[in-house]
Amino acid sequence: MPDFDLTVVGSGPGGYVAAIHAARLGARVVILEEDANRWGGTCLNWGCIPTKALIHGAEVLETVRRAAEFGVRAGEPEVDWPAMQRRKDEVVRGLRRGVQGLLAANRVETVVARGRLLPGGSEAERRVAADGREIGSRAVLLAPGSAVAVPAVAGVELALTSDTILGLDRVPDSLVVVGGGVVGMEFATLFNLLGSRVTVVEMLDRLLVPLDREVAERFQQLMSRRRIEIHLGARLESIEPAGSFRRVRFSGGEVVAEAVLVATGRRPNTADMGLEGSVALDRGAIRVDQHLRTSLPGVYAIGDATGISMLAHTASYQGEVAVANALGEKRITADYGVIPACIYTQPEIAWVGLAEEQARDQGEQVRVGRFPFSALGRAAVLGETDGLVKLVASSDGTLLGATIMGPRATDLVAEVALALGLGITAAELASVVHAHPTLPEAVAEAALDVAGRAVHVPPRRRPVS
């Protein structure tokens, strides 16, 4: 009989959530993490949490700078970068201890080792090597996460990555960000708020390519107004030393800055795991079916390593689905139709479901509702009026997706995700009474605007197109 019902390899938001979920179903669970200082995975230690802690510090700085607008006298604020870093580290340590405490409270055995799948075994028992120890279990769940991917260009070793930039000992006077995606733009706006002169170099023809094009273009305009220099359609060619600075050459020009951040994506962290020859891979990503099963019976995979969606909450969701399938008799299918995505720029951006162009590409007769935060009372009170709520609906008014740019967009998107999950119409969403004055009123107004009935903007006809 195997020692465990489930072995989880990796303790990120997919792995540790899956382990706890399995333990609460009564399973005997062991979880492996290769680094004793990274329980909680990349998200907690180098990604979601530390970056958002720094971003919030920058937002507090901006609030103090604007204090006079709200009738508050304050001196000129200064950035205390070491203190900001200390707070970030304290937040991370506290949450890391929380993950370890939850695992212990649920009687999940924890092992510090890089798990490697051993050859042989059977569907009734799979074995994993853990630095000299062999662990047998009924099922194995692979959740190794991802690692930074850098382009193969000359001098790339002179640049920082999204991992190493968190360890800077001071705020650079100037920063080049290579990559105008989610990670790149979060760091670009962070250091712009902290006072750095920021330049963004993006290979594609627009920023934030997963985003609704209309909203992405409005965001780019805002960034330009904030003196972030943006070069689109610019392919990185080399990074060279220039005294104590760095010279970044790209198609169409060059720029010299104190520091360079390469934020060009991540890759599945699947090397040296014993997968070759036993588990099917697709360009390094673990291939899974709709039940999160790999090609090897009894072995499941979730999270960034599957290449499906590099979002922490997707990994957590997949973890619960995989556990149900690994330990139960009824098969559950993973559904990615309502997975919200968030960008912690300034202003925040979030989306869920289909963007307008995606819906049109799928043949939908689209109806769009928009509502600007400049017309919202609560946004005016907060002094944060940039951005809008944009809802996309079918010809019968059924909600298909939403994109929000503005104050607390990453919180507001939850309401629309629930609406999409329930399959309701824009009219039904608009009929929900929203408290006043609040930010969610913008969602209700955008829902009304799908039918051209928004109250707090001039009337416009909304033909089906």
Angle of helix 182-193 relative to helix 213-225, nearest 10 degrees, comes to 20
457 domain residue, yes or no: no
Taking the model in full, what pTM does it have? 0.94
- Residues 251, 273: one domain? no
* Secondary structure (3-state) at 235: coil
- Residues 34, 179: one domain? no
CB 340 within 8 A of CB 323: no
- Residues 75, 99: one domain? yes
- Residues 410, 389: one domain? yes
- Residues 200, 234: one domain? yes
- Residues 273, 407: one domain? no
Q: The CATH number of the domain where 401 resides is what? A: 3.30.390.30
* Residue 436 is among the residues annotated as catalytic for this protein: yes
- Residues 139, 50: one domain? yes
pLDDT of residue 463: 44
Instruction: Pick the last residue of a domain from 223, 244, 264.
Output: 264
- Residues 142, 276: one domain? yes
Total number of domains in the chain: 3
390 domain residue, yes or no: yes
The one catalytic residue in 56, 313, 436, 456 is 436
Which residues are within 8 A (CB) of 163 and not within 5 positions of it... i.e. 6 or more apart?
46, 148
241 domain residue, yes or no: yes
94 domain residue, yes or no: yes
- Residues 355, 425: one domain? yes
Tokens of 408: 């607390």
Q: Which helix (H) or strand (E) holds 393?
A: strand 388-393
Instruction: Pick the last residue of a domain from 264, 294, 314.
Output: 264
341 domain residue, yes or no: no
Distance CA 288, CA 281 (A): 9
454 domain residue, yes or no: no
DSSP notation for 307-320: TS---HHHHHHHHH
* Secondary structure (3-state) at 459: coil
Q: The CATH number of the domain where 247 resides is what? A: 3.50.50.60
Instruction: Pick the last residue of a domain from 237, 264, 291.
Output: 264
pLDDT of residue 462: 47
Tokens of 121: 């075994």
8-state DSSP, 67:
G
- Residues 33, 141: one domain? yes
336 domain residue, yes or no: no
- Residues 10, 75: one domain? yes
461 domain residue, yes or no: no
CB 148 within 8 A of CB 266: yes
CB 144 within 8 A of CB 266: no
- Residues 52, 143: one domain? yes
List the chain pLDDT tens, one digit each, 465 residues: 789 999 999 999 999 999 999 999 999 999 999 999 999 999 999 999 999 999 999 999 999 999 999 999 999 999 999 999 999 999 999 999 999 999 999 999 999 999 999 988 777 799 999 988 999 999 999 999 999 999 999 999 999 999 999 999 999 999 999 999 999 999 999 999 999 999 999 999 999 998 999 999 999 999 999 999 999 999 999 999 999 999 999 998 999 999 999 999 999 999 999 999 899 999 999 999 999 999 999 999 999 999 998 999 999 999 999 999 999 877 899 999 999 999 999 999 999 999 999 999 999 899 999 999 999 999 999 999 999 999 999 999 999 999 999 999 999 999 999 999 999 999 999 999 999 999 999 999 999 999 999 999 988 654 444
Query: Residue 160 sits in which domain range?
Result: 156-264
